[in-house]
Structure 1
């Protein structure tokens, strides 16, 4: 997972619902400059037994990685190795600390659920490969402010969650290394086209930011 792009701009991260098939995921990844996919999981009691979930996640690894993106499992660091994923996205400091011990240095450990500067700094100091803002119910203006603050001060890459083109552009202008696309719209038939439009919005924002003296 790298934030290096030909245009020196923020890249995309897709936070994808468990209902999507490998073909759906491949179509979405191909629609933009996608660096990583966070595969949401469904391991509620009786919803999807762990062996079935492991097979489903393993089926996603091929199309995601073939497109040059990293596959990150949401909240299941224990399944990373067996599913062929590249790492995990974990919320909450205790769970994140446990994930770092399990995953590093061979796999990516990303930190989410961050709502304060203090929690973000704890994650960064604790070995996070990236910090993600906006997946814990924060209003977008607060997510944007956290991204702007982090990008100005720290080297660890930061991610901001966007659900609209305007939000994606604002995060790119604020200095986000990655813009995470999230929302129920990712289940729509036109989701790939929307990913492409949001990718274009990020590119335009990056060019505008570079043009400012």
Structure 2
């Protein structure tokens, strides 16, 4: 989750596709479209063995593209596939355990904070990033206003980077970026049309280049 660009960057959430090869091919196409900071790979109800097979195909593609591959699911799978990090969507005790056991060897971030108090509790654990929203929370064209508001508040006060979940419309990244956050996460906005995946990433990066505020060095 390095901040190489001086503006809000794209985080991809891998879509729920049963066929591992098809899923990996879509991710590969997305990575051809331009800058991607990281790719979160959710388990989507797969058993650990199946999930590992999916992750084994995706993680090298992500790393070869210069992005961070983050496993949302079993930490043992993350280790076996040599992922860069773990995304923790669970409760605070699970998050605390992951930070204690895996930082700094791996990137650890996420959280399920829905208010400022919960966010500050996550922040006290000193994760690598905090995530506002749910990985499958892109159910409307725009990003959820509550997540944008939390991201804006967080980014104005806390040095730990934050990721805000976007909507199903690629243009939803603009409102997220204008909140001053470091990362915007997209899933359906990129992957809903398998034939347009590369173009969608290109489109999002063009929007961020044009509209996103620049961070100070």
Q: Could you tell which deviates more after superposition, 57-66 or 188-197?
A: 188-197
For the Cα contact (< 8 Å) 2:92–2:111, is it kept in 1? no
Output the TM-score relative to the length of structure 1.
0.87
Unaligned runs of 5+ residues in structure 1 are none
The residue aligned with 2:9 is: 11
How far apart are the structure 1 equivalents of 2:93 and 2:189? 28
| Match of residue 168, structure 1, among 166, 173, 195 | 173
How far has the Cα of 1:179 moved from its partner? 0.9
Is the partner of 1:84 in helix, strand or coil?
coil
How far apart are the structure 2 equivalents of 1:81 and 1:109? 13
| Match of residue 79, structure 2, among 81, 93, 108 | 81
How far has the Cα of 1:183 moved from its partner? 2.4
How far apart are the structure 2 equivalents of 1:66 and 1:81? 18
How far apart are the structure 1 equivalents of 2:98 and 2:176? 27
Check if 1:182 corresponds to 2:190: no
Unaligned runs of 5+ residues in structure 2 are none
The residue aligned with 1:61 is: 59
How far has the Cα of 1:32 moved from its partner? 2.4
How far apart are the structure 2 equivalents of 1:18 and 1:100? 26
How far has the Cα of 1:143 moved from its partner? 1.0
User: Any residues of structure 2 matched to 1:53-202 within 5 Å, and which?
Assistant: 53-91=51-89, 92-135=91-134, 137=137, 140-163=144-167, 164-183=169-188, 186-189=191-194, 190-202=196-208
How far apart are the structure 2 equivalents of 1:112 and 1:184? 22
For the Cα contact (< 8 Å) 1:13–1:36, is it kept in 2? yes
How far apart are the structure 2 equivalents of 1:78 and 1:121? 28
Output the TM-score relative to the length of structure 2.
0.85
Q: Deviations over 1:91-124 (max 9, x none)?
A: 2212211211221110011123221111111111
The residue aligned with 2:2 is: 2
Is the partner of 1:179 in helix, strand or coil?
strand
Is the partner of 1:128 in helix, strand or coil?
coil
The residue aligned with 1:204 is: 210
Is the partner of 1:114 in helix, strand or coil?
coil
For the Cα contact (< 8 Å) 1:15–1:40, is it kept in 2? yes
Task: Answer 1 or 2: higher relative contact order, Cα 8 Å, separation at least 6.
Answer: 2
How far apart are the structure 2 equivalents of 1:185 and 1:204? 19
How far apart are the structure 2 equivalents of 1:54 and 1:62? 13
How far has the Cα of 1:187 moved from its partner? 4.1
How many residues align? The count is 202
Q: Could you tell which deviates more after superposition, 20-29 or 30-39?
A: 20-29
